[in-house]
Chain A
Amino acid sequence: MSAPLNHTPLFDLHVDCGAKFAPFAGFEMPVQFPTGILKEHTQTRNAAGLFDVSHMGQLRIFGSGAAAWLETLVPGDLTGLEPGRMRYTQFTNDSGGILDDLMVTRFDDHLFLVINAACKTADLEHLNAALPRELTIDVLDDRALIALQGPTAAAVLARHANDGVATMPFMSSALCAVKGVACVVSRCGYTGEDGYEISVPADRAIELAELLLVEEGVGLVGLGARDSLRLEAGLCLYGQDIDSSTTPVEAGLVWSIGKRRRRDGGFPGDAVIQRQIKDGTARKRVGIQALGRAPARARAKIIDPAGDELGEITSGGFGPTVGGPVAMGYAPRDSAAVDTLVQVVVRGKPLPAKIVKLPFTPQRYFRG
């Protein structure tokens, strides 16, 4: 029944480094390396972690008016982006639900998109179905994507690329040679730390990864720690924390919708989203901290002290930097205030927990 798993261009490197693999979105991906998830997580917070995120989709949209056109599918402000700047946004459906979340970078003659691996096929159909004749989509199947994340990422990358990389602001992107390899270097990531995502030709990916891995303090990190890092940083995982039944407003992503777009709409589900921004939503995404040691994981029920169901945990586990359980999920508006006492049901037992502010660990992006 299941199709053979795809391998990223870094697969052989993962094998050589002793990765434990698991299927993820059609790819055989490293979950952890012999160092283990805890140390990989801590290394990224304290020094630098190198992540293979090549399973994600990379594509370019060429043609004049590409930004204005893509705005008809997402609520993010793209025409207001300066060339070389990027935005986090979402594909929405007619009820304001999220079809995928993505990064869009504006370059002089094209837009560069990074989309979720599991949504690649659906996103491309969605884009192609609406694509005007004057625009073309170029799917970058021949590129790997390497994330270098952590407080020493900038110093490490600057040793192999031009010094500009150290001072480029968060959410900017540039064509850049890294040791002679033509890359698209973006200052962004999904760990809450400063860092980069480097789009590199597939056949040079291992060489580039090895170049960075020999640097002091840089280690390979698998999907296990990627998940605990993004959860502590309060970042949504598509398919868990957000999906077609949640809107950007419920998910606390209104910050990603520019002023002009909030006012003028012009994207799928705009009426729903505009009304929710004005009137609030019945439920919203919240941080949840169990007060004991037992982690509550995805799909655990959140109940009130009387035992009535409030909602569900959408992502949860152990936060290595926090040193205890961390979770997020959805709660009704009147139970969503910070410090509200709730319970989470773990293996049939209600455990005390409270609503907390997200993120669990401070985001440390480089603002210049």
Chain B
Amino acid sequence: MSGLKFSEDHEWIEVDGDTATVGITDYAQEQLGDVVFVDLPALGTELAVGDDVAVVESVKAASEIFAPLSGEIIEVNEDLEADPSKVNESAESNGWFFKMTIEDPSELDGLMDRDAYNAFIAKL
């Protein structure tokens, strides 16, 4: 399996047809520590690659999340409001942040696969 794609900003992207589910990687949650709040975007927000889209707050700091693709927000994970610790417990599944449309599929080519991401974090 592992059809996930990864960005250098430590997001994972799961592509399903012309939409993508986005979250932060297990490595990222580990670095952040205990997540206490996730500020998610409004539905319908239009994004270009690299735009600020969300903020994840751990006890110690706030970290910006950038849009890994261009598109529009179509769903956000409302469970994170009541239980932001889901990001720590299952960053790469139940801890997803939002779903978005994929405006330009060629942008996916700029993302890494699992092996490339593992190699990328090994060098950090």
Q: Which residues of A contact B (CB under 8 A)?
A: 31-32, 36-39, 41, 224-225, 227-228, 293-295, 297, 317-318, 320, 325, 347
Q: How far is the CB of B105 from chain A (nearest CB, A)?
A: 31
Residues of A contacting B81 in the complex (Cβ-Cβ under 8 angstroms): 293
Sorted from nearest, which 8 A-B pairs have the closest CB atoms?
A318-B36, A38-B34, A37-B59, A224-B60, A36-B34, A293-B37, A318-B59, A37-B34
Q: How far is the CB of A339 from chain B (nearest CB, A)?
A: 24
Give me 14 A-to-B residue pairs in the complex whose CB atoms sit less than 8 angstroms apart, sorted by A's number.
A32-B33, A37-B33, A38-B36, A38-B59, A41-B59, A224-B33, A224-B60, A294-B37, A294-B39, A295-B36, A295-B62, A318-B59, A320-B59, A325-B37
Please give me the residue from chain B that is nearest to A31 by CB atom.
B60
Q: Which residues of B contact A (CB under 8 A)?
A: 33-34, 36-37, 39, 55, 57-62, 81
Residues of B contacting A41 in the complex (Cβ-Cβ under 8 angstroms): 59
Please give me the residue from chain A that is nearest to B85 by CB atom.
A38
Q: How far is the CA of A228 from the CA of B81 in the complex (A)?
A: 21
Residues of B contacting A347 in the complex (Cβ-Cβ under 8 angstroms): 39, 55, 62
Q: How far is the CB of B15 from chain A (nearest CB, A)?
A: 29
Is there an interface contact between A295 and B57, defined as CB atoms closer than 8 Å?
yes
Residues of A contacting B59 in the complex (Cβ-Cβ under 8 angstroms): 37-38, 41, 224-225, 228, 317-318, 320
Q: Name the residue among B33, B34, B37, B59 with the largest chain A CB count within 10 angstroms.
A: B59
Please give me the residue from chain A that is nearest to B55 by CB atom.
A347
Is there an interface contact between A318 and B37, defined as CB atoms closer than 8 Å?
yes
Please give me the residue from chain B that is nearest to A227 by CB atom.
B60
Residues of A contacting B58 in the complex (Cβ-Cβ under 8 angstroms): 37
Please give me the residue from chain B that is nearest to A347 by CB atom.
B55
Q: How far is the CB of B121 from chain A (nearest CB, A)?
A: 16
Pick the contact of B37: A32, A224, A295 (CB < 8 A): A295
Q: How far is the CB of B68 from chain A (nearest CB, A)?
A: 20
Please give me the residue from chain B that is nearest to A292 by CB atom.
B37
Is there an interface contact between B33 and A318, defined as CB atoms closer than 8 Å?
no
Q: How far is the CA of A295 from the CA of B55 in the complex (A)?
A: 11
- Besides the known contacts A41-B59, A297-B62, A320-B59, 14 further A-B residue pairs in the complex with CB atoms under 8 A apart: A36-B33, A36-B34, A37-B58, A224-B33, A225-B59, A227-B60, A228-B59, A293-B81, A294-B39, A295-B36, A297-B61, A317-B59, A317-B60, A325-B37
